[in-house]
């Protein structure tokens, strides 16, 4: 007789996914390099793809591998390890995909040379997929998954006029708006800080933050846009935060590494930097010196979307953030059953052992609030406590 609860077995099977890398234009390499050189280049590219896959999945279990060098396709079936933190498979795949697409960008140029490599980018995707569905496809991705439109590089295609709009925003000719959302202490709902959120010019195609930063990414201006938005938030809140409250700024790894050189931080001791991108563990190690420097100057660090990444606990051990923000999808499971709440409580306990306070993001209901309090979560933000609002609606003109 098999051991274990059938629902647990279904849960384990469901916690599998596929990570795939492909070069849609691989067939054209023979015309460029000749047959023998093209085969060699694709083997080398396959080795590079393998190394990237293992780097991205270092915290998970690779179950099966499917390598098609000649077709420019490499994919694996992997199992999500759930014994560290409560995780959501869909969100974890999204984090792996976001990091992986950026890391895959330079590989074609490294193997094929800058000219050809720039014209033939790699695509990468990560998707939940049950093991039996993988087997039914003969150890490959389902039809259509490796189409070029699904494997687009970070940022995707630019909409008409978007490049000009990005440049206008960075030059200050069009305005980015800064909104603040309160962060509260759960036991009494007292406001302890605010997260700064950016919106593009009102009524424009770049008003929503996903479009704004996607357009910046497609123009190669992600770093500049992150720093621009952070600088505006700092200027607009200088001298206006009540004593004891902090300002959380969202930055990716590159922006975080140069924050003290590029941002107007003079005299500020009320700033918390929130690392918004998940990194493989070696990437977090590369960032540790910059984080140590920020901490020495009195700035705090939060790790965003904990439970949606792929090296969360190890990243916490390396970077030692003061706050770990639980992934919004994990938070939505709060109060939906004893097993789910036990998973969250276990995650919170492990984060506490590593010296973090835990912040629940996206709390919308009283039931979620009550369940998260019972799990030991100290801080929260979400519509239950307050929606984002313009700086001037939240803060007084000055404290003088």
| pLDDT (tens digit per residue) in 38-74 | 999 999 999 999 999 998 888 788 999 999 999 999 9
pLDDT, position 86: 66
Cβ contact 392:381 at 8 Å:
no
Q: pLDDT at residue 5 above 70?
A: no
pTM: 0.79
pLDDT, position 216: 86
pLDDT single digits (tens) 341-398: 998 999 899 999 999 999 999 999 999 999 999 999 999 999 999 999 999 999 988 7
Question: Phi-psi bin for 98: left (phi > 0), alpha (psi -120 to 50), beta?
Answer: alpha
How does 43-63 read in b/e, with b if 16+ C-beta sit within 10 Å?
Answer: eebbebbeebbebbbebbeee
pLDDT, position 159: 64
pLDDT single digits (tens) 203-243: 888 999 988 988 888 787 889 999 999 999 999 999 999 99
Cβ contact 25:71 at 8 Å:
no
User: Which of 196-200, 264-268, 306-310 is least confident?
Assistant: 306-310
């Amino acid at each position: 007789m098999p051991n274990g609860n059938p629902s647990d077995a279904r849960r384990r099977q469901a916690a599998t996914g596929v990570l795939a890398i492909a070069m849609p234009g691989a067939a054209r390499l023979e015309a460029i390099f000749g047959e023998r050189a093209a085969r060699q280049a694709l083997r080398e590219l396959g080795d590079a793809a393998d190394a990237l896959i293992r780097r991205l999945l270092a915290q998970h279990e690779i179950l099966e591998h499917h390598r098609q060098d000649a077709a420019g396709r490499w994919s694996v079936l992997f199992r999500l390890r759930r014994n560290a933190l409560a995780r959501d498979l869909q969100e974890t795949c999204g984090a792996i995909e976001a990091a992986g697409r950026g890391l895959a960008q330079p590989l074609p140029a490294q193997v094929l040379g800058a000219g050809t490599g720039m014209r033939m980018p790699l695509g990468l995707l990560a998707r939940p997929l049950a093991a039996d569905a993988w087997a039914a496809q003969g150890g490959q991705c389902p039809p259509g998954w490796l189409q070029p439109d699904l494997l687009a590089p970070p940022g995707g295609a630019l909409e008409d006029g978007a490049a000009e709009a990005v440049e206008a925003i960075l030059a200050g000719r069009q305005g980015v708006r800064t909104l603040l959302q309160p962060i509260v202490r759960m036991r009494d709902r007292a406001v302890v800080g605010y997260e700064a959120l950016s919106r593009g010019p009102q009524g424009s195609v770049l008003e929503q933050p996903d479009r704004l930063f996607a357009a910046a990414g497609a123009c190669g201006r992600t770093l500049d846009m992150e720093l621009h938005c952070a600088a505006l938030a700092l200027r607009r809140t200088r001298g206006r935060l009540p004593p004891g409250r902090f300002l959380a700024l969202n930055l990716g790894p590159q922006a975080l590494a140069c924050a003290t050189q590029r941002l107007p931080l003079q005299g500020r001791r009320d700033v918390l930097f929130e690392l918004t991108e998940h990194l493989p563990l070696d990437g977090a190690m590369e960032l540790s010196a910059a984080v140590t420097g920020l901490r020495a100057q009195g700035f705090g660090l939060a790790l965003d979307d904990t439970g949606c990444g792929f090296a969360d606990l190890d990243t916490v051990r390396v970077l030692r953030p003061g706050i770990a923000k639980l992934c919004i999808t994990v938070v939505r499971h709060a109060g939906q059953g004893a097993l789910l709440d036990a998973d969250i409580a276990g995650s919170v306990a492990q984060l506490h052992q590593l010296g973090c306070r835990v912040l629940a993001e996206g709390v919308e209901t009283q039931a979620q609030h009550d369940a998260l309090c019972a799990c030991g979560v100290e801080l929260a933000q979400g519509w239950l406590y307050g929606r984002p609002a313009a700086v001037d609606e939240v803060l007084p003109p000055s404290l003088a």
